[in-house]
Structure 1
């Protein structure tokens, strides 16, 4: 599999540990279920980036799942240092959204889905720390405008659509400023998510011997 995913290294780094480019995220150590459904989304056009759409166009589900399992099993290595803090006011606004949400608008806290340490949750929710603010903001914007979609019910599209641009910038900046305290997603628990989320509940391929 290492040879088969060699095409991924140029953008995502050796073993998927990430590169300096702000828009090519780390793959190593993320939940296999999350990575698998992102590969499906690129292949099926629900997530649009031409090189990824092209590379994955003819790959079957089982093959994509093996790719996801490979990257999920990799050691994520060192995470980038916390970004310099923006203005105190913006940082505080982002902290409030990430840790408390905006209840009056139906926006849950990021931590309620992505885990108390924001490291992600098995099988399908990624961590949010160790990512640059520009990348986080771009992904939230893609959900807001329908450029990025997930399996129904698309909980992130609902959440992102309820945030304005200033709130997207604030929460992205706060998340990017936080140190990484946990490098692996937390195991799945019985704790319910605040919103139905197709990506967390969708079935995964049955491994073959």
Structure 2
């Protein structure tokens, strides 16, 4: 499989660790179920990015599952935290939203779904560490405006729609500034209860 996914390396790194391009995410160590769902979404053009749509267009489901399993099995170290040019106040706002949410606006904490260590949970919730601020901002924007969607109930769209541009900037900057926890492994399924139903994490 390492030879078969060499086409992924220029954008995602030879171990799925990401590259210097801030808009291509780390794949390594994310739950296989999450990676498989994203590969399906690109192949079926629910997620629209022409290079990915083209590369996956004719690959069958079992092959996509093998790809997902392969990248999930890789565990290269996280890159050093990115330097941030936002203020300390913005970083504090990001930390508050990630760890506590905003009950007044019915925004749950990112940690309530992505885990206390932000490493995700099997089988379908990804970790949020090792990603660049610009990538996180772009994905939250895609959720907000409906250009990225997921299986109903689309919990990320529900949450992202309540975020302001300032919220997105703060969350992205704080997440990108985090150092690696002791373990990057996603939590086992059922480790914690989600705050609401989510199509990517069936009961």
Shorter-chain TM-score bucket reads over 0.9
> Deviation digits for residues 36-88 of structure 1, max 9, x if unmatched?
0000111111111110011111212121111100110112x121112224211
Hey, what does 2:83 align to over in structure 1?
Answer: 84
Residue in 2 that maps onto 1:206: none
The equivalent of 1:140 in structure 2 is 140
Q: What's the CA shift for 1:190?
A: 5.2
Which has the larger displacement, 6-15 or 130-139?
6-15
**Corresponding residue number in structure 2 for 1:110:** 110
Q: Please give the residue correspondences for 1:1-209 in structure 2 after superposition, counting only pairs within 5 Å.
A: 1-75=1-75, 77-85=76-84, 86-181=86-181, 182-189=183-190, 191-201=192-202
Output the CA distance in 2 between the equivalents of 1:154 and 1:59.
Answer: 26
How far apart in 2 are the matches of 1:39 and 1:68? 8
Q: How many positions carry a matched residue from both structures?
A: 201
Alpha-carbon distance in 2 for matches of 1:186, 1:192? 12
Q: How much has 1:95 moved relative to structure 2? A: 0.9
TM-score by length of 1: 0.92
TM normalised by structure 2 equals 0.95
Q: CA RMSD in A?
A: 1.3
1:155-188: per-residue Cα shift (whole Å, max 9, x none)?
0011100001010101111111111113221111
Q: Secondary structure at the match of 1:189?
A: coil
* Alpha-carbon distance in 2 for matches of 1:184, 1:168: 25
After TM superposition, give the deviation of residue 191 of structure 1 in Å. 2.8
Query: SS of the residue aligned with 1:94?
Result: helix
List gaps (5 residues or longer) in structure 1. Answer: 203-209
Aligned equivalents of 2:82, 2:21: Cα separation in 1: 14
Gaps in structure 2 of 5+ consecutive residues: none
Against the structure 1 CA distance between its residues 116 and 43, is the aligned structure 2 distance closer, same or farther, given a 3 Å change threshold?
same
* SS across alignment from 1:80: coil
